[in-house]
Chains A and B, each alone.
Chain A
């Protein structure tokens, strides 16, 4: 079961670590780095069901229609 509860002690530091991993890479290399990361972490998780659940959540986020929430940030 995919665990989406917050688990990172320092989320900002994690974000910076991921972004810095791409330092000096070409766009193609960046794509491959992300793929390599996902493959490494998939192996670490070692459970294809969890991976499928993560893929579903990620696709939902990326394909979600914008402007779909109750509060749309309409300026004054």
Chain B
């Protein structure tokens, strides 16, 4: 059915293991999807080689993730793919919510100027995966093995032993570290027998991707309808994608028959009712889905990490699935690289759980609340929902309750063991654990100056000694960047390799910065230890 994209086919290459060579790797990644490829590329950018195993021979097929959030775009910019995503994607930041046939409210996700990346772009997942494959190949550090299925997982103290099945036979592969990026139906998770429990939502949704053949004057915005005249009693979501493709998401209700609803005889009249008789279109993709919110109790199991959907699942409202997985990869890559290089001890890897489990819980909470708003479970819930939508037309307080999906924002690792709490009072700026805020500079954007190693971001001319092993970026003590960081002359931010804030100081002394850096690398809390002593 898809006509706008042809999946590339990647050849199976006979691995050395089938001829009695090789047999071990420092990092093995299971799943060459969005998250696995992002993780492999991030590791490669840190100089770490990996073997990536995927049971298929192509990128994702059909309609999957489409909304890439600002933070994901910033991560891809750090990895060198940002511009490519911007060029192809449909940039948007305005969302509108309709109730019946009238506007309940509109929101702007990034009203402020001076950011390299927009609030969102819409882009089909397969494009991003295809570019990630290319970028991984270019590094020369990613050994991508297609048609390679993991059939057994044997976790040991010092390695993980995998049996990999290929078209030309099976082989044993010993991994020092294993990243399970193999999605919601993770075979690694199943092999370990880990419970993956949570809430199932009793509702069904129809995804119809259509290619419009008639020119339509329609803005690049996210439009969401509650109870529209063309689909009474249910909700509808509309997104614009590249290649003239429009994603329409129809709520169907739990009683709907998924097989019946997928038939073009059922789908086409629904779309025609929405778009009107005069708009010609082709169906690009149709599927019916249900969803659930759940997560693993732990994301690190010894030498095995669960990254992305293998670790947690959310509803699609809020675009927190793919974006959450990209943030997982962003969080783990620098830590694993530092341990493999000997910069940090293994204990640093526990902070993946400490940071990404609260992030996952935040995503699940927002996703659950949005789903409860969109799919009211009782008459009372529906009455409250409708009252919110009616009041929203006149009242700002009610607009804040309208929930058609709280769109993905990066998690702040506020209570992370790697963050050094503020000691001074701050009037604003990103707190320890929060992602760095972008700002325009005379010659580009702030985030592009940070790189993927720890960096000390300083404001104004300073005379303090530089810290060994720590790069310094100096910015003017006035201007937009200083404003966004609540900075004056002397202010310094210690920035993590994933561009989150580790610590910040109005009066940075060498001792304080070194202590914060030690803490960031998981080398114990020397500052607290000194205070205790």
B1 in contact (CB, < 8 A): no
B206, chain A: closest CB distance, angstroms: 16
The reply to whether B275 and A57 contact each other, CB–CB distance below 8 Å, is no
**Interface size (B, Cβ < 8 Å)?**
45
In the complex, which residue of chain A has the Cβ closest to the Cβ of B236?
A: A75
B3, chain A: closest CB distance, angstroms: 19
Q: A15-B388, A73-B225 are in contact. Are A67 and B102 (CB under 8 A)?
A: yes
A8 in contact (CB, < 8 A): yes
Most chain B beta-carbon contacts within 10 A, residue among A4, A19, A62: A19
The reply to whether A76 and B216 contact each other, CB–CB distance below 8 Å, is yes
Enumerate chain A residues within 8 angstroms of B397, measured Cβ to Cβ. 4-8, 11
The reply to whether B390 and A62 contact each other, CB–CB distance below 8 Å, is yes
Contact with A along B74-106 (1 / 0, CB 8 A): 000000000000000000000010111111001
A61 in contact (CB, < 8 A): yes
Contact with A along B368-410 (1 / 0, CB 8 A): 0100110010111100100110110111110011010010000
B238 in contact (CB, < 8 A): yes
Enumerate chain A residues within 8 angstroms of B103, measured Cβ to Cβ. 69-73
A60–B395 Cα gap in the complex (Å)?
12
The reply to whether B275 and A61 contact each other, CB–CB distance below 8 Å, is no
What secondary structure prevails in chain B residues at the interface with A?
Answer: mixed
Enumerate chain B residues within 8 angstroms of A53, measured Cβ to Cβ. none
B351, chain A: closest CB distance, angstroms: 27
B2 in contact (CB, < 8 A): no
Interface bin, chain A: 35 or more
Enumerate chain B residues within 8 angstroms of A34, measured Cβ to Cβ. 380
A55, chain B: closest CB distance, angstroms: 13
The reply to whether B380 and A25 contact each other, CB–CB distance below 8 Å, is yes
Question: Which one of B216, B246, B378, B390 lies within 8 Å of A61 (CB-CB)?
Answer: B390
Enumerate chain A residues within 8 angstroms of B366, measured Cβ to Cβ. 12
Question: Which one of A18, A25, A62, A69 lies within 8 Å of B102 (CB-CB)?
Answer: A69
B221, chain A: closest CB distance, angstroms: 11
Most chain B beta-carbon contacts within 10 A, residue among A14, A15, A27, A58: A15
Question: Which one of A4, A30, A62 lies within 8 Å of B395 (CB-CB)?
Answer: A4
Most chain B beta-carbon contacts within 10 A, residue among A13, A33, A68: A68
A66, chain B: closest CB distance, angstroms: 4
A34, chain B: closest CB distance, angstroms: 7
A16 in contact (CB, < 8 A): yes
B110 in contact (CB, < 8 A): no
Enumerate chain A residues within 8 angstroms of B238, measured Cβ to Cβ. 75
Q: A73-B103, A76-B216 are in contact. Are A57 and B394 (CB under 8 A)?
A: yes
The reply to whether B391 and A72 contact each other, CB–CB distance below 8 Å, is no
The reply to whether B373 and A67 contact each other, CB–CB distance below 8 Å, is no
Q: A5-B397, A7-B397, A30-B379 are in contact. Are A73 and B102 (CB under 8 A)?
A: yes
Enumerate chain A residues within 8 angstroms of B223, measured Cβ to Cβ. 73
B528 in contact (CB, < 8 A): no
A12, chain B: closest CB distance, angstroms: 5
B75, chain A: closest CB distance, angstroms: 26
B228 in contact (CB, < 8 A): yes
Most chain B beta-carbon contacts within 10 A, residue among A5, A12, A14, A68: A12
Q: A11-B400, A61-B391, A69-B103 are in contact. Are A75 and B274 (CB under 8 A)?
A: yes
A64 in contact (CB, < 8 A): yes
Enumerate chain A residues within 8 angstroms of B196, measured Cβ to Cβ. none
The reply to whether B100 and A18 contact each other, CB–CB distance below 8 Å, is no
Enumerate chain A residues within 8 angstroms of B285, measured Cβ to Cβ. none
A67–B104 Cα gap in the complex (Å)?
10
Question: Which one of B276, B384, B390, B395 lies within 8 Å of A18 (CB-CB)?
Answer: B384
A13–B101 Cα gap in the complex (Å)?
27
The reply to whether B101 and A8 contact each other, CB–CB distance below 8 Å, is no
A58–B384 Cα gap in the complex (Å)?
12
The reply to whether B275 and A5 contact each other, CB–CB distance below 8 Å, is no
The reply to whether A57 and B395 contact each other, CB–CB distance below 8 Å, is yes
B4, chain A: closest CB distance, angstroms: 18
Enumerate chain A residues within 8 angstroms of B387, measured Cβ to Cβ. 58, 61-62
Between-chain CB contacts (< 8 Å), 5 pairs = A6-B397, A15-B373, A66-B99, A69-B102, A73-B98
Interface of A with B (CB < 8 Å)?
A: 4-8, 11-16, 18-19, 22-23, 25, 27, 30, 33-34, 57-58, 60-62, 64, 66-73, 75-76
4 A-B pairs with the lowest CB-CB distances in the bound complex, closest first: A76-B216, A73-B98, A22-B380, A76-B218
